[in-house]
Amino acid sequence: IEVTVFPDGVLLNQKKFVSDMLKEFDCLGVTSVSSPLELTPKLKATEGEVLSSPEKYRRLIGKLLFLTHTRPDICFGVQHLSQFLHTPRIPHMVAALHLLCYLKGTLVFGLFYSNNLDFSVKAYNDSDWAACPYTRKSVSGYCLFLGDSLVC
C-alpha cells in the first residue's frame, strides 16, 4: 500500500499492485472502461462454458479482494464475481477482466483521509432486495464516514 502525504491529508492507494495485476493477467494493452462491471443483466452461475483452468480466475478474485482495502469503488463488483469461485465460467472471467480494464483507467484512485477536525459520523446503506434470481437472497452494502473520510 502506497501512502502519499498531502497538506490536507493522506492518500492510500495500490498503484503498483494494480500495475502488477495488469501485467500478470495480460491487460497492459487493453482499453480502460468507465465502470467496474458491465451494465448488462447479472451473471448467472450456470451460463457459459466452464473454465478449463479455474485457478487463474480464483487468483484474480483473491487479488481483487485484497485491493478492496483501498478501493471501495470495486467492492460490489468483486463481491458479485466472488460468488462464482466454485465453478467459474467464461462469462465470469470476461467480467473479471472487464474490472481490470476499469482499474487500468482508475490507477490513481484510493482512500483519502482528510486531516480536518470534523468528527461527525455519517453512515449510508443500500440493499438490492432479492437480487439473486435463484435463491432470492439480497445483497446489501454500507459505508461509514468520520468527517470526510471513509472508515469502512
Q: Is residue 95 helix, strand or coil?
A: helix
* Mean pLDDT, all residues of the chain: 93
What pLDDT is recorded for position 29? 95
Domain ranges of the chain: 2-116
CB count within 10 Å of CB 129 equals 9
Cα separation, 113 vs 101, in Å, equals 26
CB count within 10 Å of CB 21 equals 20
- Tell me the pTM: 0.89
Q: Is the per-residue pLDDT at 41 higher than 70?
A: no
Q: Mind listing the pLDDT tens digit for each residue in 74-116?
A: 999 999 999 999 999 999 999 999 999 999 999 999 999 999 8
Higher confidence at residue 115 or residue 138?
Answer: 115
